[in-house]
Amino acid sequence: MTSSSITILQNARPLQARQERRSSHFPKLSRPVMFSSAPRSTPRLLSTLRHSTRRSLGHRPSFSTLQARMAQPTPTSQIISETAKQEGGPEKGSAAAQMQSEVGKTRNFEQAAQEIIRKMQQTPEAITKEDAAYLKSREARAIGTNNPPAGSVSADAEHLAAENLGATKDSSNAGAGGVNPAHQSAQTKIHNYEQAASEVGSKMQNAPGSVTEADAAYLHSREARASGQANPPPGSLSAQAEHLAAVNEGRATAQASAGGENNDPASQSAKDRLHNLEEATAQIGQKMARDPEHVTKDDANLLHSREERAFGETEKGGISAQAQSMAAQNEGKSS
């Protein structure tokens, strides 16, 4: 071995020693970077995370449960941590990064639900469509669907916001009249109808000649709201009031046309016919309202005759027609 070879070996030994020491301190520099040998399970892990998220959101969250949940670590944090270790760190697009995104979406939804649920509990009338849209957006991102299912907290918020919007419109339409009748409770509607029936019904019995079209319209409106039908059926109290008001209107028209010739025999005869119809209507109409099963064919014929004499014809669906229908039913029962 020459002297030059000995010199090279002597110089190489410190270099080799330095490389060995560097390898002992930085082992990654002494071998190529290896990816984890674990099987690629990103889709399965994300599916597990979504399932866990949906299961936790499957029931309607309350303010108290959400508050408790926000204070605790998420059940998927351990999965994310293990996945991040396998991947060498949460890089963009990695399974760990996507899982962190899923958890972030869930956190955002829980925060939104906490805010809106508190508002729904304390001031439900203040829920707006913006509140509902904000909550729906957060919930949709958390569960991975554009339309959260019926019965979810965002669906409840949307329904409440729609009711509040409708109440606002009805309130503006009602104006100085106060609360819109369409939003009164069923009991209030029935109470209003009973009150109108008592007022107009008493007038129909005690002073049938004073029943006006305004009385009939007032009663018709209250009965329609209470029954939920735009046109109450024939034979109802409002239908009888309408007919009686029409009779009175016809009498007033006849008197006005007679003018100063009220003593004319023809005018007097018309007055008498109207008066006779009023008497029959008051008598038999009261029987129809209070004791309909005892309305007879003679009652119906009397009304029909008086109405035809007063107006020259009978009204289809009028009080005489209703009396005839009742009488026919009663006659059929007795036979």
Summarised one tens digit per residue, pLDDT across range 150-203 is 767 788 888 888 888 876 555 555 544 455 545 556 778 888 888 888 888 888
Once rounded to an integer, what is the mean pLDDT over residues 200-215?
Answer: 84
Name the 3-class secondary structure at 111. Answer: helix
Reported as a single tens digit per residue, the pLDDT across 62-103 is: 444 444 554 454 445 555 556 555 555 555 555 655 666 677
Distances (CA, A) of 135 to 29, 53, 62, 97, 106: 50, 16, 14, 24, 12
DSSP letters spanning 195-228: HHHHHHHHHHHH-GGG--HHHHHHHHHHHHHHHT
How far apart CA 275 and CA 250 sit, in angstroms, is: 11
Per mean pLDDT, which range of 78-82, 110-114, 136-140, 187-191 is the poorest? 78-82
pLDDT for 7 beyond 50: no
How far apart CA 105 and CA 46 sit, in angstroms, is: 13
* Per-residue exposure over 127-161, b if at least 16 CB sit within 10 Å of its own CB, e if not: beeebbebbbbbbbbbbeeeebeeebbbbbbbebb
Once rounded to an integer, what is the mean pLDDT over residues 217-224?
Answer: 82
The pLDDT value given to residue 115? 87
pLDDT for 246 beyond 70: yes
Q: Residue 40's pLDDT band (boundaries 50, 70, 90)? A: very low
The pLDDT value given to residue 183? 52
The pLDDT value given to residue 123? 81
Which pair of structure tokens corresponds to residue 150?
């019926």
